[in-house]
Chains A and B, each alone.
Chain A
Amino acid sequence: MASDDLWILGIHMTKFGKHPDQDLVDLASEAVTGALADGGVTMADMGVIGAGNLMAANAGIGQQLQKQLGQTGIPVYNVANACATGATALRVAAMAVKAGETDMGLAFGVEKLSGAGLLAGGSRKEASPTWEPSGRYGAVAPVDGRIGTEIMPGVFAQIGMEYGHRYGGTSFELFARISEKNHAHSTLNPLAAYSKRFTLEEIMGDLMIAYPNTRPMCSANCDGAAAAVVVSGAKLRTLSGEQQRRALKLSASVLTTDPWEESCQVLPDVNTLTRNAATQAYEQAGIGPSDLDLVELHDCFATAELVHYDNLMLCEQGGAVDFFNSGATWRDGSMPVNVSGGLESKGHPIAATGIANIWEVATHLRGEAGPRQIEGARVGLAHVIGLGSACGVHILEKAA
């Protein structure tokens, strides 16, 4: 292992779901304690903390965690970056280790979202007594529902439909089949918030949220946390054989934002920044998409999963529909995608997601995924997107 390589030494995720008796700090503590134990290290070994939480982003979750698990005086970076918050927290720890400021860093993401409804889109209040233009568009009344939609299921529905307009082949049923796959995968994941298999008819016949996304085609709001310990190659060489054997090489760690494209301020462009992140990640890792044994990608909605097959270059440009229809992305296919069940069934506690998907990949690379193990997995990719936008891509490799 080269001295300046980055490695994941320990990693853990809590069960995703409803945790009414655990607050944010409880959940974060469970994930962090688990990751430290998994890596055979303690809080005293950490030189930096990247702490992710979105919904209470001003509350200093990193220091709250320290007050329970160890106030060692190290720097804490509390980060919020929409649905890429967890990946951003990990990037903070990775950058600090890469820069040589410390040889070991901790990252965690935690969220409590059980019972939350739509996360965007303003409720329609009474009109003011007189029209008064306000905001950057000089709007005299709320525009959600009057000038398009701000709700996430609707935004991502359009993103999938736009792909269909550009390349053809999409349909309500196609998108529902993607959801069918992920729910089927979830039945093997004991940490998923929902692990019920749905028939295609059940998915298509469920409550319509924003055509073509019905309720089971949307990510599940839930509670959860995930944490990881990053270590330098130089430090890892001084640790035990068992620690070295279970450590996973962080071959690529990339964060991008969306470069300006016509239309990107009208409908978010989740494509260009994902393609850019993937390109950089494959270059950093020195591999190509065909080298991947599994992928966890950001299926916040079924319509999103389709476009990311293309953006991550798992298929030819424009070929995502044929790629899915070939069966490639089922767990027994040539490129298993979201064998965890994905955000649609595993759940999407926002800030936890960007580390939880890395935990899923890591668990397969270690051969510890039990009944859902992808046999012989050696290389995997984890992807998240936060609207606004930010994209995180991480590639992990099994130790040689």
Chain B
Amino acid sequence: MAEQIPLVDYLRLGDEPHLVAHQCTSCGARFFDRRNGCASCGKDTFEVVDVPTTGEVKAFTIVSFAAPGVPVPYVAAVVDCGGTSVRANVINVEPDPEHVTLGMPVRLATELVGTDEQGTEAIGFGFEPVPGGA
């Protein structure tokens, strides 16, 4: 199996791919980026926590017009994963408002972004509809 690298460092690959967040040990605020401090309370101690892999779509758009080289259409969304909001595409779905709806239950899924010259695969993520979940 080819070497794999996650598209972003808050995606953890392996048998059960999942997202992780930096959680402020003082106030519980969660962030996905490298932190200098907490935007909520100003403290600077964080722990890495797992983010639930299921959630519901609380906002979405279907992008039909994008920068050169970005394939369209695609569904961009905010997914509420048990109280932690996650930015992601909704994937493995027809990109139209009949198939993507507010409140629809979704689950994390990974997909191949590309392979570099050394054969390493970059793996991205999105959320896909939960079968029978609608």
Contacts and interface: CB of A to CB of B under 8 A. Distances in A.
A123 B68 contact: yes
Interface string B54-73: 00011111111111111110
A124 B97 contact: no
Contact of A157 (B29, B61, B122, B125): B61
Nearest to B5: A131
Given A127-B114, A165-B103, A260-B29, A158 B7 contact: no
B8 A137 contact: yes
Given A122-B67, A124-B68, A149-B76, A130 B118 contact: yes
B113 interface: yes
A161 B60 contact: yes
Interface stretch (A27-35, A139-147, A225-233): A139-147
A140 B5 contact: yes
A148 B32 CA distance: 14
A105 B117 CA distance: 60
A143 to B, nearest CB: 7
A320 to B, nearest CB: 15
Contacts of B34: 136-138
Interface residues of A, number: 49
Contacts of A162: 58-59, 78
B77 interface: yes
B67 A144 contact: yes
Nearest to A208: B64
A148 B57 CA distance: 12
Nearest to B66: A145
Interface stretch (A237-245, A263-271, A392-400): A263-271
A137 B33 CA distance: 5
B58 A165 contact: yes
B85 to A, nearest CB: 4
A141 B67 contact: no
A260 B29 CA distance: 9
Contacts of B39: 260, 265
Contact of A147 (B59, B65, B89): B89
Given A122-B67, A260-B29, A161 B102 contact: yes
Given A129-B117, A208-B65, A262 B7 contact: no
A125 B69 contact: yes
Contacts of A267: 59, 78, 85, 87
A206 B65 CA distance: 13
Contacts, number: 170
Q: Interface majority SS on A: helix, strand, loop or mixed?
A: loop
Nearest to A157: B61
Given A133-B9, A161-B60, A267-B78, A118 B116 contact: no
Nearest to B71: A145
A144 B70 contact: yes
Given A129-B116, A265-B31, A266-B85, A147 B8 contact: yes
B62 A210 contact: yes
Given A129-B117, A148-B76, A262 B29 contact: yes
B67 A165 contact: no
B117 A130 contact: yes
A139 B33 CA distance: 10
A158 B89 contact: no
A266 B86 contact: yes
27 contacts: A118-B65, A121-B70, A127-B114, A131-B5, A137-B8, A137-B34, A138-B10, A145-B63, A145-B70, A145-B71, A146-B89, A148-B76, A151-B67, A154-B63, A158-B61, A158-B76, A159-B59, A165-B57, A165-B59, A209-B63, A210-B62, A211-B63, A213-B61, A260-B29, A262-B83, A265-B32, A266-B86
The 4 closest A-B pairs by CB, nearest first: A124-B69, A138-B9, A263-B85, A157-B61
Given A136-B33, A147-B125, A266-B86, 16 more contacts: A122-B67, A123-B68, A137-B33, A138-B10, A145-B71, A147-B89, A153-B65, A161-B102, A162-B58, A162-B59, A165-B58, A165-B102, A172-B97, A211-B64, A267-B78, A267-B85
